[in-house]
Structures are given as C-alpha cells and as structure tokens.
Amino acid sequence: MEELRKKARELLTSGAVKVIIGYGPGSGKRVRAVFVRKPEQADLLICDDRCLQNLAVYLTKPEVKALGKAAVVARLPTLRAILQLAAENQLTDGQVVALGISPEGKMTELSQFKAIEEFLAGFSFELSAEEKATLEKLDQMTPEQRWQFWQEQFAKCVRCYGCRASCPLCYCEKCLAECNQPQWIPAASHQIGNLDWHIIRAMHLANRCVNCGDCSRACPVGIPLHLLNQKLAEEVFKQFGARSGMKAAQEYALCNWKLEDRENFIK
C-alpha cells in the first residue's frame, strides 16, 4: 500500500498523470472509488482485499477523461478491461497508466498496453474450481429447473441498470435499452422485458466480459448475473479459443469466423 501511495505521489508530482483512480475510504468499513488529483492526497489510497471494483469503468467517462491523463489502480480484471477497451478503440496506448496489482498485492507500473499484455500472460484465466462447479450445477439441472431458477432471479430485477453502470464494457452512449425506435426492450420491469434485458446484456458481453463480477456486486437484488457472462465466456473459449482482454489488438470472436466452426444443430 505504501508502495502504491509513493508511486501515486510521484506520478502526480512529476505531472506524468493528472489523476489517480483508486480506492479510498467509504462509509463505514467500505471502500469506494476515489480520484486523487493532488500529491498530498495520495495517502487516501487504499489497496486491500475489499478493493474489488473494476475501476476501468471510469476510463471511458467523459467527466473523467476531461481530468487529463489518468493512472488507475488495476487488479487483473481491470487490466483485462483496459486491453479490451483498447481492442474496441475506446483507449489509445499511453492514454492510461495502469498500476497493476497482482493477486498477492504487489504493485507494478504498466504504462503501455504491451506491458499489460506481458503482465497478464503470467496468469491463468480459467474459471476457478468453485466457479466451474457453480456453472456445472446449473448445467446439470433440467431445462425446466434452470428456467425456474432464472425466472425467480429475473423476477426480482427492478431494471435499475446498476449492472450496466458498473460494467467497464457497457460504455455505449446510448444503450440499446434506451432505443425506442423500435423499442427492443420493453421499458417496464415486467418479466418479458427483464428476460430480454438479461439475454441482450449477456449477448453483448460475450467475448467482451472480463469477469470482474461487478455486475453481480452492483445488483441491489442479488441476481447472479456474472454466471451468464461466465457461461458465454467458457463457451467462446471452448468453441473459438478466444478470451477477452488479453491483447490490445484482440480479435472479437463474434466478428470473425472459421470454415471449420463446429456446431451440431444446423440441419
């Protein structure tokens, strides 16, 4: 943590960056995102295991961009989000400095995409045994049970779009949910609209989601949204060998194809 604060002070003092996006004290025992713009505020920064939010979500916000070049405290999913955003032309190289935090809490300054790529190459992004088990449990249910399970979950959705707000890849200025000509997603939070929304969100994030889990954490009614994303991420990996956020020049599996793509359902 000291290391991080020191680096932050350095970066701000030298003027290398104008703002550090990091975690700071929130209400009670909680942490929240802070935007440190003066060297003397660097001591606000916290970095411990409460700090889970994917701060990359701020990088595409016009208000944040207006502050000038940013450094961002970046756990692995945040780093992946940065590369994925780069692949989608939302960030350019050198525009952000990532203060990469390894799972053990060690900090590395990563100022180029290349460095982030190399850093990430040292980790595996397979789902954990626990995560796999959860997916498997659902897979093993009968379709009716799965339907039941998800319907109960979706019934709770109040369409606050907190999931979207928390997602670093939901940077669209005008989300499809706001399109009304035609109105693809009925606006009210009834069952059909909820189902539509969650299907669409999951499809939009296939091969883009970086598995930070913020959507589920942001959801006020506790829908395990990340499971949908994980499911599709696994599927994309299995079928097309692709993982999101590994390269700044990443190819998007769904705007790509191979003659030998395997399916068994087309007659």
Partner 1 sequence: MSEFEPKIVAFVCNWCTYAGADLTGTSRIKYASNVRMIRLPCTGRIDFMLLLKAFEQGADGIIVSGCHPNDCHYTAGNFHARRRWMMFRSLLDFLGIDTRRIHFAWVSAAEGAKWAEFVNSVTDQVRKLGPNEQYQKLSQAGVE
Partner 2 sequence: MARIGVFICHCGENIAGTVDVFKVAEAAGKFPGVVHSVEYKYMCSDPGQTMIKDAIKEKKLTGVVVAACSPRMHEPTFRRACAEAGLNPFLCEMANIREHCSWVHEKGEATTQKAIELIRIMVEKVKRNKPLYSIKVPVTKTALVLGGGIAGIQAALDIANAGHQVILVERSPSIGGHMLQLSETFPTLDCSQCILTPRMVEVAQHPKITLYTYSELESLDGFIGNFKARIRRKARGVDEKLCTGCGVCIQKCPQKKIPSEFDAGMGKRTAIYVPCPQSVPNQPVIDREHCTYYIKGKCKICEKFCERKAIRLDQQDEIIEVNVGAVVAATGFDILHSKDFPEYGYGKYPDVIDGLQFERLASASGPTLGAIKRPSDGKEPETVVFIACAGSRDDAKGIPYCSKICCMYTAKHAMLYKHKVHNGKAYVFYMDIRAGGKNYEEFVRRAIEEDGAVYLRGRVSRIYEEDGKLIVKGVDTLLGAQPVEIKADMVVLATAIVANQDAESLAQKLRVSYDPYHFLSEAHPKLRPVETNTAGIFLAGACQAPKDIPEAVAQASGAAAKVAGLFSSSELSREPVIAVVNRLPPPVFSTCTGCFLCEKACPYQAIEREEIKDRKGNVIKVVAKVNPGLCQGCGTCVALCRVKAIDLQGFTNEQVYCELMAL
Q: How far is Cα 243 from Cα 207, in angstroms, rounded to an integer?
A: 6
Q: How far is Cα 235 from Cα 237, in angstroms, rounded to an integer?
A: 5
Point out which residues bind partner 2 (CB under 8 A).
88-90, 171-176, 179, 181-182, 184, 204, 251-252, 254-256
- Our finding on whether 176 is near ligand SF4 (CB under 6 A) is yes
Point out which residues bind partner 1 (CB under 8 A).
138-139, 141, 143-151, 184, 186, 190-193, 195-196, 198-200, 202-203, 206, 228, 231-232, 235-236, 239-240, 253-259, 261, 263, 265-267
- Our finding on whether 226 is near ligand SF4 (CB under 6 A) is no
What does 235 bind: partner 2, ligand SF4, partner 1, none (CB cut-off 5 to 8 Å by kind)? partner 1
Residue for token digits 């990340």? 226
In the bound complex, what is the minimum distance in angstroms from residue 65's beta carbon to ligand SF4?
17
Using CB atoms within 10 Å of the CB of residue 214, give its burial: 0 to 12 exposed, 13 to 18 middle, 19+ buried: buried
In the bound complex, what is the minimum distance in angstroms from residue 175's beta carbon to ligand SF4?
3
Q: How many Cα neighbours within 13 Å face the side chain of 140? A: 6
Question: Can you state the angle between helices 76-87 and 113-120, rounded to 10 degrees?
Answer: 130
In the bound complex, what is the minimum distance in angstroms from residue 266's beta carbon to partner 1?
4
Q: How far is Cα 48 from Cα 104, in angstroms, rounded to an integer?
A: 10
In the bound complex, what is the minimum distance in angstroms from residue 214's beta carbon to partner 1?
20
Residue for token digits 């009716």? 144
What does 165 bind: partner 1, partner 2, ligand SF4, none (CB cut-off 5 to 8 Å by kind)? none
In the bound complex, what is the minimum distance in angstroms from residue 204's beta carbon to partner 1?
10
What does 122 bind: ligand SF4, partner 1, partner 2, none (CB cut-off 5 to 8 Å by kind)? none
Q: Specify the residue, 7 or 247, whose C-beta has the smaller distance to partner 2.
A: 247
Q: How far is Cα 154 from Cα 180, in angstroms, rounded to an integer?
A: 22
Question: Can you state the angle between helices 226-240 and 191-205, rounded to 10 degrees?
Answer: 40
The pair of structure tokens assigned to 216 is 């589920």
The pair of structure tokens assigned to 220 is 């006020």
In the bound complex, what is the minimum distance in angstroms from residue 97's beta carbon to partner 2?
23
Of 18, 159, 204, 217, which one interacts with ligand SF4 (CB under 6 A)?
Answer: 204
State phi, psi for 133 to the nearest 5 degrees: -60, -40
What residues make contact with ligand SF4 under the rule CB under 6 A? 164, 170, 172, 175-177, 201, 204
